[in-house]
Amino acid sequence: MTIAQDGPDGPAAWAASYSRADGIRPLFAPIADLATGAVVAVEAVPQPRDGAMAGVVAAAARTNRRAALDVGAAAAGIRRAGGYGLGVPLHVTLLADTVADDGGALAELHAAVRDAGFAPRDVVIRIAAPIGDPADADVEAGLRVLRSRGHRIGVGEVGPADHPLALIARLAPDVVALDPELAGALDADPGGQVVLDAVARLCRRTGAELVAAGIATAADLEAFRRHGVRRGCGPLLGAPGRRPVDRLAAPLPAPTPHVRPDRADPVGPVLGDFARPAVMLRDTATGAEARALFQDSPELAGIVLTTASERPVAMLERTRFLLAVSARFGYALHAERPVRDLADPARVLPLDAEPREALQLGDPRRAHDDIALVDGYGRCRGVARIGDLLRAVAALEYDRALALHPVTGLPGVPALTEALEQRLLAGQGAGIGLVTADLGALTLRGGFDAVVDGLRRVARAVTDVLPRFAGSSAAHGTGDDLVIVTDLGAPPALDAALRAALAAHRAPRVATAWLRQPPGLPTGAADVARELGRLREQARRLGPDAAVSAAAGEAPRPLAG
């Protein structure tokens, strides 16, 4: 369709019409948990009513009405979604230019949120690509305004698009949505894998929720699962429709067992992986407001009471609260009083805490209460339910048991790769040790059983010593070698303690080779293995009790020297 020239029916008139969403039909796509299939959010997707949308956008840009068009599309989705009583967050998208300089256009969005009955925190505003331009400071200022109104912030189309990761880190978004282009043939594209790993690490550091986009096939789904992504959307989960859905039309395919020897095993799930949307009230809310929420949501287990900046201060547990207000004169006493009087202190943990930490919180009376999860700024970003965590810990312990070496009880070397990477990225150095037991004499004396017993004794000595050196870990390498990762300056003391423990366990003699890895240097598993192999050969030439040390490329020397 050709856009008419300026005049009553020209570009300005068309843009104004579309900016009021007359020409845009909002559709809704589910965002689901890729492990359970539960719908955790809904995305509003603007859809043109005819084929003229591209021309209208161009016309709006020429007439400085692009912000009005942009906000009009988002507001239309918010108003339509408000009629369906969503119990999960709604995601809408705005251009970075709109946020940087809205010219007053965002007033329509705020009015739509208010008219639709949404709390601002339940509307996640995603910024579309690109955001890397000279107006970065204006974008950041615009996002601060949106945050001050209570909205959560997201960044969309991250990956191949022009989204500088350093800028995203400064924005500290609550949600990061991947570019749909990453979904196709992810495992066959090394570049895509590097991008995904970098974005995932950024999200872990900033506490952002990572959302995959464009999941169209079971292969796409399985690829994102293997890379640790827990949220996603796309045609496989549900095409955009006129009504938002609260459950997927069909169950997701079960995860396929998969082993990737070339990738480091994850250190394990964190609480953020099990986050459910939190229902929050201000800590100044009344008992009547809380009772209305519980009555409207029979499945609601608890309400988080927060400050104006969404920092959790207290938790209302459903059963205890309803018992209090149902007692004689209970509602009359508490309906207009602050509900915080009936609340318990919030049980709070960071998003990157391990599930085991939640299970170790005190107060048996509250053993089954939800845990409030906070980001690095102390803002509530969801709740974790104890039932979910118990199942996760049970599954994790089973998986770890399968991965342990049957003789030494230690994990494989890939378990150390993540720990080493984290040290180097955090600006710390590392001492990487190779412990080689002298098992030849045992083979002659007692055969296989003696070798197994000797290797087990060496492993016991290692595991006895490690707790004395904070942050140290060990794994079973190839053959009879054990590998240790510790602080850069720890090898002399750790080696001495290990030899004392070996004597106490009557273990075989060992030779140790220590690689000094300075902070910040990029190191791959193959490079570490090559350097350790070089040092081990030198240690063996020096004798069964030798201990040598060197940095990469240096000549080895006795550890004590």
* CA 462 and chain centroid, separation: 33
The helix (run of H) or strand (run of E) holding residue 31 is: strand 24-33
**Residue 29, burial from CB neighbour count under 10 angstroms (0-12, 13-18, 19+):** buried
Q: The tokens 């690509």 sit on which residue? A: 129
- The whole-angstrom separation of Cα 351 and Cα 213 is 22
Q: Provide the token pair at 36.
A: 């359970």
Residue intervals in the chain for CATH 3.20.20.450: 25-45+89-246
- Whether cis (ω within 30° of 0) applies to the bond prior to 411 is no
Phi, psi of 285 (to 5 degrees): -65, 160
- The whole-angstrom separation of Cα 50 and Cα 71 is 19
Q: Provide the token pair at 519.
A: 């902070």
> Which residues fall within 8 angstroms of residue 76, CB to CB, at 6 or more apart?
21, 24, 26, 46, 112
| 55 half-sphere exposure, CB direction, 13 A CA radius | 13
Residue 175 near residue 143 (C-beta atoms within 8 A): no
Q: What is the pTM of this model?
A: 0.52
Smallest Cα–Cα separation from 262: which of 475, 412, 39? 412
Q: Provide the token pair at 180.
A: 């749909």
Pick the CATH number of 280-390 from 3.90.1640.10, 3.10.180.10, 3.30.10.20, 3.10.580.10: 3.10.580.10
Spell out where 96-197 has E strands: 123-128, 152-158, 175-178
Strand partners, 303: 316
Pick the CATH number of 406-558 from 3.30.70.270, 3.30.300.30, 3.20.20.70, 3.60.21.10: 3.30.70.270
Residue intervals in the chain for CATH 3.30.70.270: 406-558
- The whole-angstrom separation of Cα 543 and Cα 559 is 14
* CA 521 and chain centroid, separation: 25
Residue intervals in the chain for CATH 3.10.580.10: 280-390
Smallest Cα–Cα separation from 514: which of 549, 541, 551? 549
Q: Are strands 430-437 and 481-486 parallel, antiparallel or unpaired?
A: antiparallel
- The whole-angstrom separation of Cα 244 and Cα 234 is 14
Distance set, CA 321 to CA 214, 284, 297, 362, 407 (Å): 42, 16, 14, 20, 52
| Ramachandran assignment for 391, one of left (phi > 0), alpha (psi -120 to 50 degrees), beta (any other) | alpha
The helix (run of H) or strand (run of E) holding residue 212 is: strand 209-212
Distance set, CA 361 to CA 54, 317, 371, 561 (Å): 55, 16, 10, 46
Smallest Cα–Cα separation from 200: which of 192, 103, 513? 192
Whole-number pLDDT of residue 177 = 92
| 483 half-sphere exposure, CB direction, 13 A CA radius | 25
Q: Provide the token pair at 268.
A: 């394990």
Look at the chain and count its residues: 561
| Ramachandran assignment for 543, one of left (phi > 0), alpha (psi -120 to 50 degrees), beta (any other) | left
| 3 state DSSP class of 485 | strand
- The whole-angstrom separation of Cα 420 and Cα 435 is 17
- The whole-angstrom separation of Cα 38 and Cα 350 is 23
Mean pLDDT, consecutive 10-residue segments, the chain of 561 residues? 37 43 79 86 84 58 70 90 88 88 80 91 85 66 87 86 74 89 74 81 83 91 84 92 89 59 49 86 90 85 88 89 80 82 88 81 75 85 85 61 62 69 71 82 66 83 88 78 85 90 87 81 64 78 81 78 48
Beginning with the edge strand found earlier in the chain, give each strand of the sheet holding 280-282 in spatial order: 280-282, 302-306, 312-317, 344-345
- The whole-angstrom separation of Cα 335 and Cα 326 is 11
Whole-number pLDDT of residue 21 = 47
Q: Provide the token pair at 272.
A: 């953020």
The helix (run of H) or strand (run of E) holding residue 450 is: helix 440-465
Buried b (16+ CB within 10 A) or exposed e, 470-505: eebbbbbbeebbbbbbbbeebbeebbebbbebbeeb
Smallest Cα–Cα separation from 154: which of 194, 107, 121? 121
Q: The tokens 């872990």 sit on which residue? A: 204
Whole-number pLDDT of residue 22 = 56
Strand partners, 128: 95
Q: Provide the token pair at 63.
A: 């007439």
| 3 state DSSP class of 272 | helix
Q: Determine the topology of domain 25-45+89-246 in CATH.
A: TIM Barrel (3.20.20)
| C-alpha dihedral sign at 113, 118, 124, 128 | negative
Residue 458 near residue 474 (C-beta atoms within 8 A): no
